[in-house]
């Protein structure tokens, strides 16, 4: 059924489709970056596809995919410098952004892929189509450095703002050390149920020792 979706996409938006393939039983269609919003909107709204579930947005760094020293599909970041010395240049397009869409009513799925060069890691946001794209795109930005143009709040999702670099890139140094940052001061930090880090029997106020804006009697 997914193959029929690709044919439908080629018929309705022929200029958007770059290529299509099958990987591990999954149908994949690569489209132009500039038309990603148009493509996904069409697949979401067209009665023949109804791909209304955004299951995931993922990103892959293809830097070492084809000819690496391990003979597999990837290598550790500590091996990248030696790998790069043996190569005339990095693979381009280097990054693949994959949108995994599914239809609950039609019981089919399709992976939409966009390829990006290492010197132009930008793709339009699809937050106007799917609210869940917000955090998926922030995750890809945080881990891989993919910039989603037009995103309403493109900030780090898992790492702190002062973190330097994007740790899932293949050339991120495996032993890289990050600068120390001051502890954030929360004026009204409320923890969940149960004892705090101080252990059972201690009032919640004692879990906030050192935070100048917290009233020690607030949580007793």
Mean per-residue pLDDT of the chain: 82
Helix orientation angle between 36-45 and 2-12, rounded to the nearest 10 degrees: 120
Cis ω before 93 (30° cut-off from 0) = yes
- Tokens 């607030």 label which residue? 218
Read off the tokens for 79.
Answer: 């091996």
Q: Give the pLDDT of residue 179.
A: 82
Q: What are the DSSP calls for 19-56, one per residue?
A: EEEEETTEEEEEE-GGGHHHHHHHHHH-TTT---EEEE
Read off the tokens for 56.
Answer: 């995931």
For residue 171, the tally of other CB atoms under 10 A from its CB is 17
Q: Give the pLDDT of residue 29.
A: 96
Q: In angstroms, rounded to a whole number, what is the distance separating the alpha carbons of residues 100 and 143?
A: 18
Q: Give the pLDDT of residue 26.
A: 87
Report pLDDT digits (tens) over 66-99: 655 444 455 555 656 665 555 556 688 999 999 9
Q: Give the pLDDT of residue 23.
A: 84
Q: In angstroms, rounded to a whole number, what is the distance separating the alpha carbons of residues 1 and 88?
A: 41
The torsion angles phi and psi of 199, rounded to 5 degrees, stand at 105, 170
First to last CA, the chain: 60
Least confident of 67-71, 104-108, 177-181: 67-71
Tell me the domains of the chain and their CATH numbers.
2-149 (3.30.460.80), 182-220 (no CATH)
Torsion on CA atoms 8, 13, 16, 17, rounded to nearest 10: 20
Report pLDDT digits (tens) over 110-123: 999 999 999 999 99
Which residue pairs from 60-66 have beta carbons closer than 8 angstroms and sit at least 24 positions apart in sequence? Answer: 60/95, 60/96, 60/98, 61/94, 61/95, 61/144, 61/168, 61/169, 61/170, 62/91, 62/93, 62/94, 62/95, 62/96, 63/90, 63/91, 63/94, 63/169, 63/170, 63/171, 64/170, 65/91, 66/91
Query: Does residue 183 surpass a pLDDT of 70?
Result: no
């Amino acid at each position: 059924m997914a193959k029929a979706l690709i044919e439908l996409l080629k018929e309705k938006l022929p200029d958007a489709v770059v290529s299509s393939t099958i990987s591990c039983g999954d149908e994949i269609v690569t489209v132009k970056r500039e038309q990603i919003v148009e493509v996904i909107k069409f697949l979401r709204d067209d009665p023949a596809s109804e791909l209304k579930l955004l299951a995931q947005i993922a990103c892959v760094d293809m830097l070492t995919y084809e000819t690496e020293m391990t003979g597999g599909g990837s290598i550790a970041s500590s091996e990248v410098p030696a790998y790069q010395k043996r190569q005339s240049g990095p693979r381009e397009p280097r990054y693949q952004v994959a949108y995994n869409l599914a239809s609950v009513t039609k019981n089919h799925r399709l992976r939409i892929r966009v390829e990006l060069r290492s010197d132009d890691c930008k793709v339009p946001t699809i937050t106007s189509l799917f609210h869940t794209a917000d955090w998926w795109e922030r995750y890809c930005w945080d881990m891989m450095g993919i910039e989603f143009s037009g995103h309403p709040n493109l900030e780090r999702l898992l790492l702190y703002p002062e973190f330097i670099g994007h740790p899932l890139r293949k050339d991120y140094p495996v032993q890289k050390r990050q600068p120390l940052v001051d502890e954030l001061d929360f004026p009204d930090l409320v923890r969940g149920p149960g004892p705090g880090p101080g252990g059972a029997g201690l009032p919640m106020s004692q879990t906030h020792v050192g935070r100048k804006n917290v009233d020690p009697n607030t949580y007793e």
